[in-house]
Amino acid sequence: MLKLVGAALVVIASGLGGIAVAANYSRRPKELRSIRSALQMLETEIAYGSTHLPEAMSMVASRCDSSIAPIFIRAASELTSMTGATAAEAWEVSLSSFSPGSALKQQDISILRNFGSSLGISDREDQIKHLRLASEQIGMENAAAEEEAVRNVKLWSYLGFLCGLMIVLVLY
Amino acid sequence: MNTAEQRSFVLNSSSGVGVLNEIFTVLPGSFRRLLTALPDSIQDKVEEVRIRQGRPLLLGLSHGDTFVSPEGRPTRLITEAYQVTSDDMERLIQLISCSSIYALEEELRNGFITLPGGHRAGITGRAVLDGGKVKTLKYFSGFSIRISREVVGAALKAMPYIIDVGGKGIYHTILVSPPRCGKTTMLRDMIRLISSGISALNFKGLTVGLVDERSEVAGCYRGIPQRDVGVRTDVLDGCPKAEGMMMLLRSMSPRVIAADEIGRREDVSALEEVLNAGVKILVTAHGSTLAELAERPALGSMIRSKMIERFVILGRSKGVGTIEDILDGKTLRSLGVKRC
């Protein structure tokens, strides 16, 4: 009896482990999608609202998905603190504090970083161009990430349970 | 014309350093360090900061100008002076514009940006044209930051000549002054006094409508005046003067309409409307003498029509904000300001 309970525990534990890994894979496309829609919000603010950047950032932060809001909250607070930081510097600071805890990969961060270097320094048309470029690039990363997620999510959720079963078989 | 006794208002020195702090928020770190290292006696006197790429940083003081050494010491030698780098310029435009150059196309077209607190940053660079008209600026090469100081009481001595005989209203008044003579400061204080009333003269205070096209008089931040412009003053911030005066006339029933730097033809025709509507006007115009003002195409006709009742001529013969003369508009004779 005890053996059976133990076996069940092993299967459940490794199954849950597999699901956790799988969830991590599906996090990245979700974050990328949120970033993309946040960039579109920023574009609207800049193109139609002529909103000043710090204000536009806080507005985007309050409306976008909470998983990526910290990027915009931090950048806005860096800009309004009036320490003499430029928009590119504020964006950089905010990205480097956000990236360790996120599911984003290096290439995603570098797209955002490139975009940041042109933030706020040019006229409306140019800003829109840069925003669209970043949004497009994020979109491409997202497509790849989703494909990867579909594969890995299935794989890991089965793999967890199957590993559990195998351990049970070997030990039983 | 300059026979009358000349007087000046003394800059309130206690506010000097604080005022400079207000513009620190838009200056890059390198400039902040230089300016904070300056002795207080110099900081008090800074009227403008001139920044030109690849050339020395220049401070305009109330008497002459000075370079600043990299250690933050005032100096007369160009070789010792701090040279403005391209990095300084890039930071400056970003800080001045709140990293939002895209939102400032109208301001860039006019060549200046108003900073919080009503300070003005003039900008030069390369103009981008669209159909022969200036669309915006790029490759910014020079900035001139004019520091606006609030001098409470600057206009007190002129007020007895502006308030009409019954003490119930004011005369139609134009402040005439060359640039950098305290024109805006004087206007702001007059508005404050007219709007809040002057108990010493038993003057009760009138509703004033102020069209502050450049946000310099009231120093509005998001529409709220940051400077004391009196308790009965309605401010229309950032609005073109001609349109703004008509809007105020229709909507806020002011007794006095005030505006800074009248000069364009449409301003003058709007002023004529206001004059005919029974509302008093209080405006400023560029010029060093009345004769010079009369030469200007738009303003000349209004002066000749004798509708204006008082001309206050400002200068800086005894420091910024010297009231050189106050003239009666009908006779064009001096009112002998020395008698007050």
ipTM: 0.75
Q: Are the Cβ atoms of A52 and B100 closer than 8 angstroms?
A: yes
Which tokens go with B260?
A: 């800074």
| Residues B118, B314, B284: CA angle, nearest 5 degrees | 55
Please count the residue pairs, one from chain A and one from chain B, whose beta carbons lie less than 8 angstroms apart. 58
pLDDT 10s digits, A111-156: 999 999 988 888 888 899 999 999 999 999 999 999 988 888 888 8
* Chain B contact present for A121, CB below 8 A: yes
Q: Could you say which DSSP state residue B102 is in? A: G
Report yes or no: A51 at the B interface, CB cutoff 8 Å: yes
Give the model's pLDDT for residue B13.
Answer: 33
Residue to test with chain B: of A52, A77, A89, A118, most B Cβ within 10 A: A52
Q: Give all domains of chain B, ordered by start, each with its CATH number.
A: 13-146 (3.30.450), 159-339 (3.40.50.300)
Q: Cβ contact (<8 Å) for A120 and B91?
A: no
Span B240-276, pLDDT tens digits: 999 999 999 999 999 999 999 888 889 999 998 898 8
pLDDT at B232 > cutoff 60: yes
- The answer to whether the beta carbons of residues A31 and A104 sit under 8 Å apart is yes
**3-class secondary structure per residue, chain A:** CHHHHHHHHHHHHHHHHHHHHHHHHHHHHHHHHHHHHHHHHHHHHHHHHCCCHHHHHHHHHHHCCCCCHHHHHHHHHHHHCCCCCCHHHHHHHHHHHHHHHCCCCHHHHHHHHHHHHCCCCCCHHHHHHHHHHHHHHHHHHHHHHHHHHHHHHHHHHHHHHHHHHHHHHHHC
- Specify the range with the lowest mean pLDDT, choosing from A129-133, B142-146, B295-299: B295-299
Each domain of chain A, given as residue ranges in start order, spans 2-171
Q: Is A76 on the interface with B (CB under 8 A)?
A: no
CA distance B99 to chain A (A): 5
Mean of pLDDT over chain B: 85
Q: Which amino acid is at B115?
A: L
Most A-contacting residue of B95, B102, B107 (CB-CB within 10 A), to test interface: B102
Is B129 in CB contact (< 8 Å) with chain A? Answer: no
Each residue of B40-58: pLDDT tens digit? 888 888 888 999 999 999 9
Lowest mean pLDDT among B1-10, B87-96, B212-221: B1-10
Instruction: Quickly state the pLDDT bin for B136 (edges 50, 70, 90).
Output: confident
> How many Cβ atoms from other residues are within 10 Å of residue B300's Cβ?
13
Q: Tell me if A120 and B102 make a contact (CB, 8 A cut-off).
A: yes
